Chain A
C-alpha cells in the first residue's frame, strides 16, 4: 500500500517532477511533464536532459546540476530571470520556475527537478504592474492639478491688504489640508473698511471653490453698491441670496463673520451666520468686550428669512485691538504623538485651545498685530505638540486702532553693505534715548545686514525697507527684503543651532539676545523685532 502510494504520488502532482542521474539522464518523468511537454515517459527516459531540451545546455544550469550532485546544494531558478526550462507542447510561450535539489537514490547521487508553470501568475503580475502604472500616472496628473488649484487658491487670499492710516491689520492662515475652507479679506470702499472671515464645509478642493465663491460674491456687492448700503446685514443677505441661486448641495454650508468699520466714526458694525467664535476686543481704555454673533449658517436647508441675525455695533477707541478667528483654532485639541498599544486612534487632550488663545491675546494686545499673531502662534505651537497644523483650517486676524502716541521712521536702503553706515546715522538718534538703545542699534544693524546679504544677495538694485515704530510700551522694527525668504519657523522655533548655520543664523541669534520677539512673515523675507519697555522708563528716557 505504502509503495503504491509513493509510486502514484508524483503522477498526481500539479507540477513537473523529473529525476536525473549523475550523467543528467532522465530516470523519472511524471505524468504532468508528459502532458505539459507532449513527450511520453517512454520517449525521454534514459535520454540526457540537455539533449532533449538544448536550452538547458548552458554553463549556469550545468553548474547548478553539478552543485546538487557534488555539493549537496539546492538551487532555485526563477522564471523572471530565465526562459522556459522545459519546452511545452505546441511550443507556446510559458513561464516556469525550477527547483534543483540533491537526492540520493539507491546510494547514488541524483538531481531532483521540480518545474512549476507560473505563466498565469506572471500574467497577473504584469497586469497588476500595468494597472499600478496607470494609476500612478493618474495620481501624478491629479496631484499636479491639485497643486495648480492650491496656487490659485493661495493667490485668491489677500496678498496686499489695504493700507489705512491709523489702522493696522495682520492675519495668519493655516489650512488643514493642501487647500482650505477658511477665507478672510479686508476691503476699503470709501469711508468703510469691510472685513470678513468665512469658514465653509470641507478642507479640500470643494472648500477652496466655495471660498472663492464667497470672495467673488462679496467683492461684487462691495464694488457695485453705494457706500451707505455697504452694511454687514446687506452683504450677508446678498451672499445668502446668491448661494441659494447656485443650488449648492444640502450638506454644504458657509459660516461667516462680516464687519464694517466706519473710518470717520470708528464704529464697527458686525453680524454673523453660524459663526461660533466671539470677537475678542481689548479697548484702548483697558476694558474688554466679547462680541457674539447669533445667526444660523448659510445652507440650502435654512430659509433665507431665518438668516437675519441683526447687526450689533461697538465704537473703537485709539489703542483698541480686535481678534477674529475661526473655530479651527479654538477647538483644536492636541493629539498625543502615537496611539498606545490597543488604541485605534490617537488619544486627544480634553482641553481645547480657546482659553489659552484668549489669555495669550489679552496678554499681548498692546503690541502691534503681527507681534500678537506671532505670540499666539508660538503659544499654539507649544500647546499643539510642536505643530502649527490643526485638524481644521485655522485663520486668525488682528485689527488695531493705533495708539495716539507713536513715533515712526521709514528708510529705504540699497543692497550694499556700505548703506549700513547710513542706517546707523538715521536710526541712532531715534534709538538713543530708548533704554538699551545701543544694543538695539546693533540688532537693527544685524537684521539689515542679513536682508542685504542673504535676502537680496547684495544686488544693489534690490531694496531693503526699514520701518521703526516707537510707542510708550514698545519699540518695533520691520525689515523687509526682496528675497525668496527662508524657513524661519523651523530655524527659530525648533531651536536649531543658529550659531553654526552659515546663512542668517548668526545674525538672528545675536538679535535674539537683545529683543523680546524676533520673527518673520510666512514667506520669510520680512523680519520683525520687538522690544517691550516699561512705560514709566520709556517716558523718563
Chain B
C-alpha cells in the first residue's frame, strides 16, 4: 500500500488541524505560544524481519539515537498505538522550556530526565496524542478507547517490538510517520508522531481520506 500525493496532502492537512487543537491546549497549559506543525509524512509497511532491519536503517537519524517516546494504545474498530517521539536531548530542552519557572536559576544540568520531567512529558504526550487519535476517531466516526500514556526512553524506535505487540498479527503492520516541528519560545524542535495501525485500520483511514477528497472534487 502506497500513499498517493493527494492522500498525503489530505492526511497532512487533517493532522495539522488535530495538532493545532493540541497546540492551543498546550498554550493554555504552559502559558507560552506553542506551534505544532506536520512537515512531512510517510507510510511504512512492516512484514518480515529483514525488511524491518532495512526500515530501521532508513529511518531518519532522529529516530535512531536515544529517544523519549510517549505512547497510547487505542481501539476497538480503529485500533493501534500512537507515539510522540523526540530525541532525548530535544525532550530535555522541551521540558526545560515548558517548566520555565521550575528551572529558573538552574544551570543546564546534563543527565537523565527526573520523575517530574517524565510527568510533564506524559501530559504533553497525552494532549497531543489524544488530539490526533481523537481527531482520527471523529473523522472516521468511531468511538475509541484510550489508555493513559506510557513514557519510555528507548535506544532507537523499536519497529520489531511494534510489529509483535501492537495489534493483530494477521496482515503485518502499517506505520504512519508524521515528522513534526514543535515551536515554543523561539526554539524549534524536530520530532515525530508515529502511528502503528493494522491493515484494516489503515485501509479505513485511507478510504475516508479518499471519500473526503472525492467530495472536495465534486
Give chain A's interface residues, CB within 8 Å of chain B.
58-60, 63, 67, 71-82, 97, 99, 118, 121-122, 125-126, 128-130, 132-133, 136-137
Q: A76-B123, A99-B148 are in contact. Are A125 and B116 (CB under 8 A)?
A: yes
- Give bound CA distance, A137 to B105, whole Å: 14
Option from A59, A63, A76, A81 in Cβ contact (under 8 Å) with B99: A81
Q: Are A72 and B145 in contact (CB under 8 A)?
A: yes
Closest residue of chain A to B147 (Cβ to Cβ) is A74
**Stretch touching chain A among B23-31, B41-49, B60-68:** B23-31
Q: Are A78 and B148 in contact (CB under 8 A)?
A: no
Q: Are A73 and B134 in contact (CB under 8 A)?
A: yes
Q: Are A74 and B116 in contact (CB under 8 A)?
A: no
Q: Are A76 and B149 in contact (CB under 8 A)?
A: yes
Q: Are A75 and B126 in contact (CB under 8 A)?
A: yes
Q: How far, in Å, is B101 (CB) from chain A's closest CB?
A: 10
Option from B115, B123, B145 in Cβ contact (under 8 Å) with A81: B123
Residue B179 at the chain A interface, CB threshold 8 Å = no
Enumerate chain B residues within 8 angstroms of A60, measured Cβ to Cβ. 25, 28-29
Q: Are B109 and A76 in contact (CB under 8 A)?
A: no
Enumerate chain A residues within 8 angstroms of B144, measured Cβ to Cβ. 72
Interface residues on B, range: 20 to 34
Enumerate chain B residues within 8 angstroms of A137, measured Cβ to Cβ. 107
- Give bound CA distance, A99 to B106, whole Å: 29
- Give bound CA distance, A81 to B121, whole Å: 10
Option from A72, A81, A133 in Cβ contact (under 8 Å) with B120: A81
A-B contacts, 24 listed (Cβ < 8 Å) = A59-B28, A63-B25, A67-B130, A71-B143, A73-B130, A73-B134, A73-B146, A74-B146, A74-B147, A76-B119, A76-B126, A76-B148, A78-B122, A81-B29, A81-B98, A82-B29, A122-B116, A125-B114, A125-B115, A126-B102, A128-B114, A129-B114, A130-B106, A136-B109
| A-B Cβ contacts below 8 A, count | 77
Q: How far, in Å, is B180 (CB) from chain A's closest CB?
A: 20
- Give bound CA distance, A125 to B109, whole Å: 13
Q: How far, in Å, is A74 (CB) from chain B's closest CB?
A: 5
The 0/1 profile, CB within 8 Å of A marked 1, for residues 36-58 of chain B is 00000000000000000000000
Option from A73, A99, A136 in Cβ contact (under 8 Å) with B107: A136
Q: Are A77 and B123 in contact (CB under 8 A)?
A: yes
Quick one: which of B29, B116, B117 has the most chain A CB within 10 A? B116
Q: List B110-146 residues whose CB lies under 8 Å from chain A.
A: 110-111, 114-117, 119-120, 122-123, 126-127, 130, 134, 137, 143-146
- Give bound CA distance, A74 to B30, whole Å: 20
Q: A58-B28, A60-B29, A129-B114 are in contact. Are A80 and B119 (CB under 8 A)?
A: yes
Q: How far, in Å, is A71 (CB) from chain B's closest CB?
A: 6
Which 4 A-B pairs rank lowest in CB-CB distance, beginning with the nearest? A78-B119, A78-B123, A80-B120, A60-B28
Enumerate chain B residues within 8 angstroms of A122, measured Cβ to Cβ. 116
- Give bound CA distance, A46 to B123, whole Å: 29
Closest residue of chain B to A99 (Cβ to Cβ) is B148
Q: Are A133 and B106 in contact (CB under 8 A)?
A: yes
Enumerate chain B residues within 8 angstroms of A126, measured Cβ to Cβ. 102
- Give bound CA distance, A128 to B134, whole Å: 38
Enumerate chain B residues within 8 angstroms of A121, measured Cβ to Cβ. 115-116
Q: 19 new A-B pairs (CB below 8 Å) besides A80-B99, A80-B120, A132-B111?
A: A59-B28, A60-B28, A71-B134, A71-B137, A72-B146, A73-B134, A74-B146, A75-B126, A75-B127, A76-B123, A77-B123, A79-B119, A81-B120, A118-B119, A121-B115, A132-B109, A133-B106, A133-B107, A136-B109
